[in-house]
Amino acid sequence: MTAEERRVIEAGLGRAPNPLEWALFGALWSEHCSYKHTKPLLGMLPTHGSGVVAGPGEGAGAVAWRDGWAVVFKLESHNHPSYVAPFDGAATGVGGILRDVFAMGAEVLAVAGALAFDVESATRSALATGVADGLKAYAERFGVPFGALSVVLDARYRTNPLVNALAVGRLARDKLVLSAADRDDLVFIYAGRPTDFDGVHGAAFASKSFAGAGANARAGNAIPVRVPKADPETGRRLYEATLAVIGRGWAYAVQDMGAAGLLSASAEMAAKGGRGATLYLDRVPRAFAEERGAPRSERAPEAATAITPEAAEVLMLSETQERMLYAVRREDADAVLALLGDYGIPAAAVGEVRADGRYVLQSGDRVLADVPVRLLVDGVPLHDLRERLSTSAPASGRAPDDGHVAGVPGQTTPDERLAEHFGDHRRWAGAALFGRRRLSAVGLQAVPDLPGGVAYTVVAAPKVVEERPDVGTAALVVWGAVRLALVGAMPLGVTNNLNFGDPSDPRVARDIVRSIEGLAAGARALDLPVVSGNVSLYNATSGRSIPPTPVVGLVGDVPDDELLSRAPTLTTGDVLAWASPWPHGSSAERTSFETTSDDGDTPPPDVGTAPPLGSPSVRTCGLSAALRPSRQTASRSARFCSSSRSSTSFSSSRAWNRRKTSADDSATPSADPRSGASAVDARPLERRFPPA
């Protein structure tokens, strides 16, 4: 905590905090919880719109999907813990993002991942295999498919691997539950595993750069953290119990106990509701008596002993997995506790909402902490990184050899690097990590009782982003939309995970600013809302930061079952038609893909004279794709068009022109009945972007 932050806290309290109160502020004012270096920038993102059901600030985002339904989804990182404890770090990352989704009342559908390693870790060390095993094990034992994977290989991730997880669910909109505890008659119910020592000070740990590598890895000034253990069986029961509580109308507000545990869940729920909270720590389920293996210095009092400030710090900051906090009406509390018991979930009423805006921790009649909840949750001084911009320094993670790794298949030319993002995901690293099962770049998930389903994808391309962070990050959004278009899905919304190094480095600060600008521009160009996300900073070791690595996730609607079972993939000889107003000189444009115009009269944009990214005059009518007839004798084409002058028009599977292979296959594709426009002709115009 900085001297400025200490002064703000003491001024806000009118006194010096006690040690427990310092610990509370230290956790919630950490970068991991407060976003104090990025919150001023995230306001640039398009987070509102007619299709937004729930936006940033909730556990996950939700977008409207068909009549009465919503898709709930979010990307999140578990980078630091996955480096220290690969299996447990990755497994708990999947568990945490699933809880964010089902805390809103959603049925979970699938998970996906975006990983970044160096080549040695991916092929010869236990790090990458531990991460992959953790991801697979949690998903399989929880009972959710792991459907898509993005893998980046680069030497600069050797001491800072990245593990990002996406979860997708579906929700009946009338069952949506948010996290604001905004009634005075609400009781807080703790549900899940009893509190242990796992993850205490984990938020602070994730807000520091590593001071060493390998077995000597420690965050900053040697913050000791025990990486939490996952328990997917309990997680599954908690999932089913949570949906049961919500289904009966008993959950007024719900939040996962993730980073900073019970503290963040209770304080944030109260602050969002404009209220305060009192927690009775004697009632919090805890496993201290069973912690025989803990060092003597860590052992907490037995359950019968009064809660000390030290034990209170553990109870509030532990990140024990598989836990949820419900805010329920007082008259429903007993019924909720009984229902949780039926599912075998430990539970207790541990606190209540208060009207005066205070956040109070008690043990018996003793008050252990008493602070304003607004100061605790929202009072941290923010830092606008635009004030630190450096325009002359190289990109933050650029290596002298431009970061290319010798011997890595698929990363030798811009064509090969970009082709990966459109086609069947056959990266050898991903195949090695996940065994014989081949994960594609796009996941397709059927939905019970409805035709078709949901498509989802995660996109990362740090070598493109570092050349120009704004253009490169905008390209991630476009690439994700293309991926969905190529399987017949209509894009619905965007999530993101912004992985960067130490923001005190002006080069990193510049990359963060420009990348968020690009994310906003790309989403606006395609008229897609950014409804959720996560920021992971301090991915650095001994002063060296990772390359700028924003990861973008998109979800889309697949309207019929045929597309789920016969989704096209790109193979040699297929044509991808691409028109885009990227400024001349970026590798994002230097491909040999053949281009065609969106109609017969307008030529493709000239990349040498196109207006700058984000210019109001740019007409993004840029995604046009056509696949030649496949072996299933079906020809498919998709059209995606948006403009600053009109709303987005997307023709998904209904506009895919299915024809039996016959003598008239060369006929002009039929018109899209919804847009009134002709589908794109697959015949190339023999025009190419400038060669690399």
The residues carrying an active-site annotation are 32, 78
Secondary structure of residue 457 in the 3-state scheme: strand
Which positions ≥6 away from 448 have C-beta within 8 Å? none
Angle, alpha carbons 351-354-357 (nearest 5°): 120
Q: Decide if 319 contacts 195 (C-beta within 8 A).
A: no
436 Cβ contact list (under 8 Å, min separation 6): none
For 408, other C-beta atoms within 10 Å of its C-beta total 19
Q: 3-class SS at 329?
A: strand
Indicate the helix (H) or strand (E) that contains 186.
strand 186-192
Q: Which helix (H) or strand (E) holds 6?
A: helix 3-13
Beta bridge partners of 116: 152, 162
Structure tokens at 663: 């003598």
Beta strand 358-363 with 276-280 is: parallel
Q: Which two tokens stand for residue 613?
A: 């990214």
According to DSSP, the residues that pair with 74 across neighbouring strands are 167
Name the residue with tokens 């805890």. 286
* Residue corresponding to tokens 């959720």: 532
* 680 closest CA partner among 672, 688, 690: 672
In this structure, what DSSP letter does residue 2 have?
-
| SS3 letters across 73-115 | EEEEECHHHHHHCHHHHHHHHHHHHHHHHHCCCCEEEEEEEEE
Q: Which of 458, 459, 466 is nearest to 500 (CA)?
A: 466
Structure token digits, residue 210: 């590593």
Count of alpha carbons within 13 angstroms of residue 9, beta-carbon side: 23
Contact between 591 and 418 (Cβ < 8 Å): yes
> Residue by residue, what is the 3-state secondary structure of 10-29?
HHHHCCCCCHHHHHHHHHHC
Amino acid letter, 365: D
Q: Which amino acid is at 8?
A: V
Q: Which of 578, 519, 581 is nearest to 554 (CA)?
A: 519
DSSP 286: B
Chain-centroid distance, C-alpha 32: 14
